[in-house]
Amino acid sequence: QDIPSLHEVFADYFPIGAAIEPFQTKGLKAELLKKHVNMIVAENAMKPSSIHPTEDQYNWGPADQIVQFAKENNMQLRFHTLVWHTQVGDWFFIDRDGKPMIDETDPAKQEANKQLLLERLDSHVRTVVSRYKDDIVSWDVVNEVIEPNDPDGMRASLWYQLTGTDYIETAFRAAREAGGEHIKLYINDYGTDDPTKRELIYELVKELLDKGVPIDGVGHQTHISIHWPPTDLVIESMERFAELGLDNIVTELDMSLYAWNDRSDFGDNIPEDVLNKQATRYRELFEAFKAKQDILSEVVFWGIADDHTWLSGFPIKRTEAPLLFNDVLHAKPAFWAIVDPE
Ligand code: XIL
């Protein structure tokens, strides 16, 4: 196909990335990736449950495959994610007697459990960071720790219920110690455009920075739709974090065809005007990103083509087409809108 390379088009601005699975390092998908992106991230292979399924066992194989693919093709690599409340082995939260830590009522044992959990986390972070510290340009240290509807605006995960915000502090400090000064550490979340959520993240990060916790920037997942949010809100959020001297990354970009609370399904007939609207939105977004290149250092899509997108199963099973290439890997109107914005 005689089309421009996406990452070359943006070479003066920021790397362009995509999330991938190990099986996509071969075949047609791999060719598409090699042409268009100069950064990759593991869609699942580096999450805690995949990379550290039981306490004494690390599963490096799938993660290493992705590292290898990046090296062979001169792509930068980012890491997703050292800590999360989901896709994490249950073993983290079971005490030495085989009992769920959360059921403990004796205060002395609660404190012992908290220490055990933080030690496990510290060991997980140091082991993973030590192995990949020279391969990764940016690390998602924690993912989705803010939840405006939970008490204190902190997600009421087992991590938070058992340790408060100590787990966040432990993860960042361990990563810095294991990886050294040059590695870049991020707090990643979705809905960072929402001013309420944005301010909760801002307050948390500010408090941690004041305590000397090493945080370099904010990862904005940017799972958006053709209807929401307005580009201005996305950009305002980056500007807000830049006030703290922080970097910003777009970590999981995709653009659903449906409004968030809409449960309809286009099936086999995605209307042309919907794809055109998507193109217009993508154009506006990337023009805004370019203008903010001083505070935005990477733009990473959550996938590359519509044949493989987590949104086709979330929040319901249906036809989705959130990316720049369609389900037969051809460039969509959104691709052309970005590479040729006039
Ligand atoms: C998703 C993957 O794409 C799916 O394959 C998996 O089944 C669930 O997780 N926010 C994140 C990502 O931070 O890790 C999620 O990835 C998508 C939402």
pLDDT in tens, 169-213: 999 999 999 999 999 999 999 999 999 999 999 999 999 999 999
Of 24, 44, 222, the one to substitute when testing ligand 1's pocket (max ligand atoms within 8 A of C-beta) is 44
The alpha carbon of 213 and the centre of ligand 1 are apart by a number of angstroms equal to 27
Other beta carbons within 10 angstroms of residue 107's beta carbon come to 8
Q: Which two tokens stand for residue 159?
A: 């991590």
Nearest protein CA to atom 5 of ligand 1, as residue? 310
User: What's the pLDDT score for residue 180?
Assistant: 98
Contacts with 334 (C-beta within 8 Å, 6 or more apart), sequence order: 255, 275, 278, 279, 282, 323, 324
Contacts with 122 (C-beta within 8 Å, 6 or more apart), sequence order: 170, 174
The alpha carbon of 43 and the centre of ligand 1 are apart by a number of angstroms equal to 7
Other beta carbons within 10 angstroms of residue 36's beta carbon come to 24
- CB distance 112 to 101 below 8 Å: no
- CB distance 71 to 135 below 8 Å: yes
* CB-defined site of ligand 1, < 6 Å: 43-44, 143, 221, 252, 310
* Residues 332, 311: Cα–Cα separation, whole Å: 17
Of 23, 43, 186, the one to substitute when testing ligand 1's pocket (max ligand atoms within 8 A of C-beta) is 43
| Average pLDDT over the chain, rounded to an integer | 98
E strand intervals along the chain: 16-20, 39-42, 76-79, 138-143, 185-189, 217-220, 223-225, 247-256, 296-301
Nearest protein CA to atom 17 of ligand 1, as residue? 310
Nearest protein CA to atom 4 of ligand 1, as residue? 310
pLDDT in tens, 6-18: 999 999 999 999 9
User: What's the pLDDT score for residue 313?
Assistant: 97
pLDDT in tens, 296-324: 999 999 999 999 999 999 999 999 999 99
Q: Which residue has the tokens 């432990």?
A: 170
pLDDT in tens, 47-84: 999 999 999 999 999 999 999 999 999 999 999 999 99
Other beta carbons within 10 angstroms of residue 10's beta carbon come to 19
Residue positions annotated with a catalytic role: 252
Answer yes or no: is pLDDT of 85 > 70: yes
List beta partners, residue 301.
18, 253
Q: Give the pLDDT band of residue 1 (cuts 50, 70, 90).
A: low
CA dihedral 78, 32, 293, 184 (to 10 degrees): 10
The alpha carbon of 309 and the centre of ligand 1 are apart by a number of angstroms equal to 9
> Average pLDDT, stretch 112-127?
98
Could you tell me what percent of the chain has a pLDDT over 70? 100
Establish how many alpha carbons lie within 13 A of residue 67's alpha carbon, considering only the half-sphere containing its beta carbon.
17
Could you tell me what percent of the chain has a pLDDT over 90? 99
Of 302, 310, 312, the one to substitute when testing ligand 1's pocket (max ligand atoms within 8 A of C-beta) is 310
Q: Give the pLDDT band of residue 158 (cuts 50, 70, 90).
A: very high
User: What is the number of H-type helices and E-type strands within the chain?
Assistant: 11, 9
Ligand 1 closest atom vs CA 223: 18
